[in-house]
Structure formats: structure tokens, C-alpha cells
Chains A and B, each alone.
Chain A
Amino acid sequence: MRRRGGSRRDKRSGFSLLEVLVALTIAAMAFAVVYRSVGQSVLIGAKSRERTEAATVVRSLMALAAGRSELLAQRAGVFSGWHWQVEVRPVTVAWQPDPPLVEGLDPTLFDPAALPPLYALDWTLTPSTSAKTSLHFVSYVLDPAF
């Protein structure tokens, strides 16, 4: 008799298989959400790494073009595993502040004609391994031929 009663108590205090299944399903769903967010975080990390690498490519291309105005005429190419394209556009800078920054200062000091022309370079970089990602950068140069 005592043994039978004890066994009944054991049954009441444990989890049923259905309860375990429900708990596991909830846990699996929670982990799916965590996994998705980890996936997003990994993706952001990879994009950030790509962007860092592309920025070094742009700096190297700028170093190759420095002091050589003819290179600004070249608009596309491949460098260090990246396809690059560049659009060159002149930038107008307002050099004469109104009112003057310093009262009594000679305004001809801000003569735009005395300054070399400024260009904006719009870069588009695509990794050679995948054409899906395109990264954009803007850099500025003074006309080296001035």
C-alpha cells in the first residue's frame, strides 16, 4: 500500500512529456531569435570589415593619383581585389564670408581665383569576388596641375 501511494506522489511531482515538449519548443523559438540576431551581428561585422578594407583601397588609389592630374581622367579599374569607379566633380567653395570673419582683414586674402580648384571624387567599390555589394566613398583633392 505504501509503495503504491509513494509512486502516485512521484507522478504528481514530475513533468509530463507534454510539458517538456512545450518548454523545449519555447526554448527552441527563443534560440531561433537569438540565432537570427547573432546572424545579423555577424553580417554587420562582415560589412564593417569590407568597408574598412575598401577604405584602405581608396587611400591607396588616392596615393597612386596624388600629384598626377592625368590619373583623375581614369574612371575605372581593378585594384587589390576590388573593382573601382570614380566620378570627378568640381566643388565650389564660398571663400568670402559675410560678414567677414575678422574685421579689417583684407578680403582679397579670400580670393577664390588664388586658390587651386577643388574636386570631389565619388568612389564606388565592388569586391571582385561578389558583385552584390557596392560601397561608396567621397574624397576631396586639390587640382595637382594648378
Chain B
Amino acid sequence: MALTLASLLMAAVSGLIYQVGESLQRSDRVRVASERLALVEALLRRKIEGLKPLGTVVDGSATLWFQGDPDAVQLLATLPEHPTQPRLYHFRFQFVPERKQLQAALVPWEGRKLPHWDTAETVLLLEGVERVQWRYQAFDTGEWQDTWHDRRFHPARVSLSFTLTSGQTATWVFVLPRAR
């Protein structure tokens, strides 16, 4: 009887130790994922909400360095956070479905030259991304659209909706200086 009790207590203590370890690991994973999301949101907010009307001249007309597609957005902004080369960069925030990642591709700005994305430095923003949808709100009509290829004006707002493989979904909305 006493031996059975001792064995049961031992099993309970072992179970508790296991549960504590599991809980701590799970909590740690959730915390890291949450901090990562907050960091990425803050980075995108800084880049998009602080966007300057930077562009170039193509065929005599001013052309903004901004282009929006459902799975990627391209823009020109400074990157003071860069560890070795803080300067102006062409950014492309893109969804890579085969890797289930949201990445930032960076190409240093070289005046009027178009960026060569095949030489871009890539930075992993989010892992375990199932779906991404960028959308763009027109300033004059207020309508949301899936692409933005108007090279004269920035959109009023940009939204990013995504679903993670964990099932978590979120939508982030960024307002551009023009709409404030």
C-alpha cells in the first residue's frame, strides 16, 4: 500500500515537472512570436507611415518609387537601423509562399537606376505565414484595391492582412502622410 502511494507520488511529481517545463516552453514560444509580430508591425509602420514622396523622372514625368501588389509592396525609405550601411534603400516587403515567410528585400538606392532585386539582401520578418494580402486605399475615392500602380501619388492607406500557420490572423493598417 505504502509502496503504491510512494509510486503514485513519484509519478505525480514527475508529471508536474514535465508540465512545468512544457508550460514554460510554450509560454516562451508565444512570447517570442508576439514580440516578433510587434517588432515587424513597428518596422512597417515606421517605413510606410514615414514615407516621403521620393521618386525619379521617367519620360519627363515624375514617378514615385512606390508600387503595390497583393503579395508585395515596394517603396524607397531610409534604413537607419542597418548595422553596417544606414542609408536609402529600395524595400520590397514580400510574401514567399514556398517558404511560408514574409521577407524584406533591400537594394541600396543608386539614383535613378531601377533596383536589381536579384542582388537584394533579404531579411526574414515572419515565419509560418500561411497567407498575405496587401491592400491600398485610394486618396480621392476612399476605395480599397488589391494593387497600386499609380506612379504619381501614394495611396492614402495601406493594409496588411495575414494568417499564420498557427491560425492567428491580423490586419494592420498604415496611414500615409498624405492622408493625415
| Residues in A lying within 8 Å of B, measured CB to CB | 17-18, 20-21, 24-25, 27-28, 31-32, 34-35, 38-39, 41-42, 45-46, 48-49, 52-53, 55-56, 59-64, 66-67, 79-81
Contact = CB atoms under 8 A, between A and B. Distances in A.
Q: Top 9 nearest A-B pairs by Cβ distance?
A: A63-B175, A60-B173, A49-B34, A24-B9, A80-B171, A63-B173, A66-B175, A42-B27, A31-B16
Interface stretch (B17-25, B85-93, B146-154): B17-25
B169 A24 contact: no
Given A24-B10, A45-B31, A59-B45, A81 B16 contact: no
Interface in B71-109: none
B12 interface: yes
A3 B107 CA distance: 85
Contacts of B180: 66-67
A52 B23 contact: no
- What size tier do the contact residues of chain B reach? 35 or more
Q: Is the interface of A mostly helix, strand, loop or mixed?
A: helix
A18 B2 CA distance: 8
Nearest to B15: A31
